[in-house]
Amino acid sequence: MKRSRLKLFKTTSLTFSLIGIILILFTAGVFIYMGVTGVTSSISSTVDNSGSYDDLSVVKAQYTNVSSKYDSIKSAMSDSKDYGKKDTYNNGRLKLSEVNGLITEIEGDISRNQPKDQVNAKINQAKQLINEADEIYTSLGK
């Protein structure tokens, strides 16, 4: 009787040990899978955002170009007595400030991995506002 209890105890102990080892391996496998998935999605989102970074740099360059045009006539506009031109100039400056805000939003959206469609829509909106500001500058005759 003692031998059968001892044999039963050994068998039960061995079974529990094997089940424990299997559970530990399974848990480790789940954590490894989660880690690999996280790294993979991080890499793919970085690759997806690289095009957005390129588009954003183009928008920033256009913004800097048009903004420098406005800066070059700032003193002339402030001294001007033509209130129509001043109003037009201020409208162009307002468009540029909207673009500056959009650029900040776009940078935040890219860093937060927002959907590419949303980022592209804001980039297109910024490009449109830059074009409008440039047309306003051209209409000022400078």
Confidence of residue 41 (pLDDT cuts 50, 70, 90): confident
Give domain limits for the chain: 2-139
Q: pTM of the entire structure? A: 0.65
Residue with tokens 């045009």: 69
Provide the mean pLDDT of the chain. 87
Residue with tokens 């998935």: 37
Distance CA 100, CA 122 (A): 12
Q: Give per-residue pLDDT as tens, 4-39.
A: 777 878 888 889 899 999 999 999 999 999 988 887
- How much of the chain exceeds pLDDT 90, in percent? 49
3-state class (DSSP) for residue 127? helix
Q: What distances in angstroms separate CA 78 from CA 68, 74, 86, 109, 128, one per listed residue?
A: 16, 6, 7, 36, 26
